[in-house]
Amino acid sequence: MSADGWSSVLVLGGIRSGKSAFAEALVAGAPSVRYVATAAGGEDDPEWRGRIEAHQRRRPQSWTTEETGADPGRLAAVLAEAKPDETLLVDDLGGWVATLLDPANQPNDDVATVTALAEAVRACAARVVLVSPEVGLSLVPATPVGRAFADALGTANQALAAACDRVAFVVAGRPTWLKAGADEAGIVTDVEAEQGTAPQPVGAAPQARVTAAAAAAPLTASTEPSAAFAEVDPGTVIEAGMDLPLPDSDAGPDARDRLERVDLPGAGIGVLLEAVEFAAGTQGTATPRPWGPVRVLLLDGRHAGGAAAGADPAESDRRAAEAETGEGPLARLAATADADITVVRVPASGAMEDGPVLDEAAVDAGLRQGWELAGAAAADGREALVIGACGTGTDAVATAVIAATTGAEPVAILPRVLVPGARYDDEAWMRRCAAVRDAMHRIRQEPRGAKDILAQLGGADLAVATGALLGAAARRMPVLLDGPLGIAAGLVARDLASQSRHWCLLADAGRHQLVRQGADVLGLTPVLELGLDLGEGANALVALPLLRSAIALAGALPVHPVLLAAPGDAGLSDEDASFAEPEPHGPGPASA
């Protein structure tokens, strides 16, 4: 068993319960993951293929995939062959049982096959997370085939639950730990969670659970910063499989639960709950504070070739100069949002349709520069980053990167070319399309690791943005993504360190399909639907005061007085009554 208490986990849940996403989060910190896909067939079912493709898009580029396909015995062999330094994610056992029951694999001793799989899990040298559907909560199936499947899957789930160190049950995206250790069963209590017996994700730092009483405590005004950023080794090597911290997985749900009990006259804060949960997770508390000073990194990069068709370099120079002198829309918004702007001018990048846009040394230099910019922001007391861009050719480059990493169709996501006078230059758009098309054709046989993508397509500005995201995640600093370059950087950063996406928030998707497509793959839901198109960085600054207000309100409001009544009063449960106000001068026993 590993040092943090588990080597094998079984994750159960119903259809669309969030079980796969939860299992992926458990292994997010592993340097590399072997994804074992059990589904067989379905090539003629578009809806089924769509589900599989959605799973594929979520997986980082650093993961490898192995399909056990039509051979149910192959899964046990994969587990037996796994090495101690590997991490395996098996998704899911429903597909495996369906293959087991396939008439082509009969007659067969199904019980013996299940037993062999359970023994393989017990003996597996690698870490393994298995996902399985829980079908025992519905009606008994009406058909013999359905009953056989339910019976076989139930038998498999019981055998594997006994074999695994931990068992989780996921409902509506919320996990409950059914098995706390190899020799004990039962729901994990708050006490067990505080003592550290509940499993932590691979590579995650120990996390403190916020109990109900603590979650009820309001925040008083304070001049202290809302986040203490982690110390980072200056010699950190930026490479695929980096091990970065994750936000607190309990604080966000605890903040949401607390909001159900606070003293609000209405039904709640609506879509802004997404921002509150994000702030709670990144700060590790159910009562988060609004972010203090923010730094905008405005990247000014130049891309040669068709990517820059229709763009005027002089316009980019003017926008960057305005930001430095406190003029223009970005600077005005920054002044009202307690933000400062750092203009980052990077070396020019080549034409992606002609060959690599950067060499290996330039990629590493850009990543390092971004990493250090995040460190400088933390050292200067900034509590969040906003990624923006004002260069030429960035939209086409971001399109190429997103197409290469997600399989999106470039023509469907490339933004139109807007020129002064509020008109569109469709000829320039077609030239950009051609550049992206030619670049995608050129790299069709090339490796598509994160650094390969930066060298072949991304350029210096995207490398710096990616390094900044990684540096922020390493320091537990939240990042507000805004626009094509930020989303593209998020995808590249994910393939270097999968934890990085959990430190990113998308305040508004704007009008770009490119942003929505990339955000969907990153698992980011826009907090707001404002439809802004003010330029990269400016959209986030417009939304920032509203996000701060929601976070401040959620963290500072007390529990509703009715919920402070004695247990049994006003029809309240003991659990409701436990959300009591603390004494005004510090934490202590709650009193009604």
Which residues are tagged catalytic? 536
The CA-atom distances, in angstroms, between 297 and each of 104, 304, 329, 367, 427 are 59, 22, 15, 14, 31
Could you identify the residue written with the tokens 């030619």? 438
- For residue 188, give the DSSP letter: P
Q: Name every residue whose Cβ is closer than 8 Å to that of residue 81 and which is 6 or more positions away in sequence.
A: none
Q: What is the C-alpha to C-alpha distance for residues 146 and 138, in angstroms, rounded to an integer?
A: 12
Which stretch of DSSP H or E encloses residue 177? strand 174-179
3-state SS string over 213-265? HHHHCCCCCCCCCCCCCCCCCCCCCCCCCCCCCCCCCCHHHHHHHHHCCECCC
**Angle between the 46-58 and 19-26 helix axes, to the nearest 10 degrees?**
20
The CA-atom distances, in angstroms, between 494 and each of 233, 359, 450, 526 are 20, 21, 9, 18
Please spell the DSSP secondary structure of 488-520, one letter per residue. HHHHHHHHH-GGGGGGEEESB-TT-HHHHHHHH
Which stretch of DSSP H or E encloses residue 373? helix 360-379
Q: What is the C-alpha to C-alpha distance for residues 289 and 551, in angstroms, rounded to an integer?
A: 6
Nearest alpha-carbon partner for 383 in 131, 551, 530, 585: 551
Nearest alpha-carbon partner for 507 in 472, 473, 544, 536: 544
Which stretch of DSSP H or E encloses residue 159? helix 144-163
